[in-house]
C-alpha cells in the first residue's frame, strides 16, 4: 500500500541541514526522524531543532546503516560535505542490498559529485538500488523564479517569441567552513561551489514549461577563472589562521571568481545563451542571487538583496556579528536588507515539498540525479575551458576522466 507520510533521515547535520529543517515547517506529509553526523554536538543540535520546530521527533543515529534499518525512515537527504558523496551513497545502497532496510528515495545536495566520474557513480548507485532520486537545487523552486518563469512564458514568449538570454549570478564573501576552500575536498573553488546553481537555474528559465531537459542541447562552453582576493597575503593569512594552518592559498589556492558562457540550441534550432558569474569576493550586505531573462519584447529580473524589508541601525547600535538578517551577512549597522523568509524565498520549501510528494506518489522528481550529472558535465567543461583558455565544444571526449587542476592541487594563477 502506498505510504501517506514520509519519514526522512538526514546525513550531515550542519549548515544546510538546519536550513532544510527550518523549511520543513511549510512541508506537509513528512517528518524529520533521523540525523547522522560524526560530530555529536552538530547531530544533537540538528535533532533538537527538528523537535523544537515540531517537524519531526528526530533521533540521532550512530551510522547510516542504523538509520536505513529503522523502518520509520523512508528516505534519506544527503547533506554531508562533497568529499563524502560516494562513501555515503555506497553505505546506503549496501544497507538496502544486504537486506538491513528499505527506502523509497534519496535526495542529494549540490553538487552531485566533485567531477563527472563521481556524479555518474552516484546515478549508477541510486539506480542499482531501485530508489527514486532527487537532486537538491533549491533555486529552481524559488517562488520569484517559478512564478516569473510561468508569466514570462505564458505572456511574453507566447506573443513575441521565446527568451534567448539568461544571466545568473551568485556571490558572497566566502564559505563558512574550511573544507569548502580546499580544491581537493570540495572539488574546485567557487565555480564548483556556486556556478552549479547559476548554470541550472539559467537552463531552467530557458526551457519551456512542460518540456524536459533534453529540449536544450549545450553546444559550446567558454569560461574564465582566477583568484582575485583570497591569494592576497593578508587574506591568505586569514584563511590559514581560520583552518589551523591547513588552507594555503599562496601555494594551493582555489578560484574565487569564475564566469562562463554556455551556448545552447533548442529543439527548434534556436541559438540561446547562458551567462553566469560567481565569486567569493563580494562584500555587500550578504548573499546576492541575481537572475535576468531576456526575450524579444520582455525581460525579467530578480535580485535577492532588493528586499521589501530594510532596517537601519545607527553607529551607536553595537551587537554581536550574526546571520539573522541575511545569509552570509557582512554587517550589523547602517541600512541593511532583510530576507523575511529565507527558507521560502531561496526555494528550500518548494524543493522539499516537491521531493516529498514525488517520493510519496512513486514518481521520479523533476530535478534528479541525471540533472545533477548534467550540471557537473557543464561545470567540468567550464574548468577545461578556463584551463585551456579556449572555447570547448560540448561534450568533450575527455569529460569522463577530467579532474580540474584546482582539485588536483596544481592550479595557481599567482605563479
**Between 8 and 16, whose beta carbon lies closer to ligand NAD?**
16
- Which residue of the chain is nearest ligand NAD when measured via CB? 14
| Contact yes or no for 288/169 (Cβ under 8 A) | yes
Residue 11 engages ligand NAD in binding (rule: CB under 6 A): yes
**Residue 42 near ligand NAD by CB under 6 A:** yes
Contacts of 242 (CB under 8 A, 6+ apart): 178
Q: Is 399 in the site for ligand NAD (CB under 6 A)?
A: no
The yes or no reply on residue 63 touching ligand NAD (CB under 6 A) is no
| The Cα angle at residue 175 between residues 110 and 368, in degrees rounded to 5 | 5
Q: Work out whether 16 is an interface residue with ligand NAD (CB under 6 A).
A: yes
- Phi and psi based region of residue 40 (left: phi greater than 0; alpha: psi -120 to 50; beta: remaining): alpha
The answer to whether 156 and 298 have CB atoms below 8 angstroms apart is yes
Examine residue 79 and tell whether it contacts ligand NAD (CB under 6 A).
Answer: yes
Q: Does 81 bind ligand NAD (CB under 6 A)?
A: yes
Is residue 110 a contact point for ligand NAD (CB under 6 A)?
A: yes
Q: Rounded distance, CA 352 to CA 141, Å?
A: 9
Residue 151: partners with Cβ closer than 8 Å, 6 or more residues away: none
Q: Is 365 in the site for ligand NAD (CB under 6 A)?
A: no
Closest alpha carbon to 328 in 186, 110, 173, 179: 173
Dist. CA 415–CA 411, nearest whole Å: 9
**Grid cell at residue 260:** 562562463
Q: Which is nearer to ligand NAD, 154 or 177 (CB)?
A: 177
Asked if 164 interacts with ligand NAD (CB under 6 A), we say no
Confirm or reject binding of residue 183 to ligand NAD (CB under 6 A). no
Q: Is residue 82 near ligand NAD by the rule CB under 6 A?
A: yes
Q: CA nearest 63: which of 86, 43, 81?
A: 43
Count of residues engaged in binding ligand NAD, rule: CB under 6 A: 22
Of 6, 7, 9, 13, the residue at the interface with ligand NAD (CB under 6 A) is: 13
Going residue by residue from 116 to 155, which x/- string records binding to ligand NAD, judged by CB under 6 A?
Answer: ----------------------x-----------------
Are the beta carbons of 67 and 42 closer than 8 angstroms? no
| 59-68 burial: b if 16+ Cβ within 10 Å, else e | bbbeebbbbb
**Is residue 177 within the footprint of ligand NAD (CB under 6 A)?**
yes
Select 80 or 156, whichever has its Cβ closest to ligand NAD.
80
Q: For residue 73, state whether it binds ligand NAD (rule: CB under 6 A).
A: no
Residues at the interface with ligand NAD (CB under 6 A): 11-17, 36-39, 42, 79-82, 84, 88, 109-110, 138, 177
Amino acid at each position: 500500500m502506498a505510504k501517506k507520510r514520509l519519514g526522512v533521515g538526514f546525513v550531515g547535520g550542519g549548515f544546510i541541514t538546519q536550513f532544510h529543517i527550518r523549511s520543513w515547517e511549510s512541508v506537509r506529509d513528512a517528518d524529520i526522524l533521523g540525523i547522522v553526523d560524526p560530530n555529536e554536538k552538530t547531530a544533537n543540535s540538528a535533532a533538537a531543532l527538528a523537535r523544537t520546530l515540531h517537524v519531526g521527533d528526530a533521533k540521532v543515529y550512530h551510522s547510516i546503516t542504523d538509520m536505513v534499518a529503522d523502518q520509520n525512515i523512508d528516505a534519506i537527504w544527503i547533506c554531508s560535505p562533497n568529499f563524502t558523496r560516494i562513501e555515503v551513497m555506497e553505505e546506503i545502497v549496501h544497507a538496502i542490498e544486504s537486506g538491513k532496510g528499505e527506502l523509497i528515495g534519496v535526495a542529494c545536495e549540490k553538487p552531485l559529485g566533485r567531477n563527472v566520474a563521481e556524479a555518474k557513480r552516484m546515478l549508477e548507485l541510486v539506480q542499482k538500488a531501485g530508489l527514486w532520486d532527487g537532486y537538491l537545487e533549491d533555486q529552481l523552486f524559488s517562488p520569484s523564479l517559478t512564478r516569473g518563469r510561468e508569466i514570462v512564458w505564458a505572456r511574453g514568449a507566447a506573443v513575441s517569441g521565446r527568451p534567448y538570454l539568461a544571466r545568473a549570478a551568485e556571490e558572497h564573501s566566502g564559505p563558512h567552513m574550511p573544507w569548502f576552500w580546499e580544491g581537493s575536498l570540495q572539488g574546485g573553488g567557487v565555480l564548483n561551489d556556486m556556478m552549479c546553481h547559476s548554470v541550472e537555474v539559467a537552463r531552467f528559465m530557458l526551457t519551456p514549461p512542460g518540456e524536459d531537459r533534453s529540449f536544450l542541447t549545450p553546444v559550446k562552453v567558454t569560461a574564465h577563472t582566477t583568484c582575485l582576493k583570497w591569494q592576497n597575503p593578508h587574506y591568505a593569512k586569514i584563511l590559514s589562521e581560520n583552518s589551523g594552518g591547513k588552507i594555503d592559498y599562496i601555494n594551493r589556492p582555489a578560484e574565487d571568481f569564475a564566469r562562463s558562457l554556455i551556448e545552447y540550441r533548442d529543439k527548434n534550432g534556436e541559438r540561446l545563451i547562458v551567462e553566469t558569474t560567481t565569486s567569493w569576493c563580494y562584500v555587500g550586505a550578504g548573499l546576492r542571487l541575481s537572475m535576468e531573462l531576456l526575450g524579444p519584447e520582455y525581460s525579467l529580473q530578480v535580485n535577492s538583496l532588493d528586499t521589501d524589508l530594510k532596517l537601519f541601525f545607527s553607529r551607536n547600535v553595537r551587537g554581536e556579528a550574526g546571520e539573522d538578517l541575511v545569509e552570509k551577512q557582512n554587517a550589523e549597522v547602517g541600512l541593511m536588507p532583510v530576507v523575511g523568509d529565507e527558507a521560502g524565498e531561496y526555494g528550500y520549501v518548494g524543493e522539499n515539498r516537491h521531493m516529498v510528494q514525488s517520493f510519496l506518489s512513486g514518481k521520479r522528481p523533476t530535478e534528479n540525479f541525471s540533472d545533477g550529472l548534467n550540471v557537473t558535465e557543464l561545470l567540468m567543461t567550464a574548468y577545461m575551458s578556463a584551463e585551456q583558455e579556449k572555447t570547448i565544444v560540448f561534450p568533450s571526449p575527455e569529460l569522463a576522466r577530467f579532474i580540474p587542476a584546482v582539485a588536483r592541487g596544481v592550479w595557481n594563477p599567482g605563479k
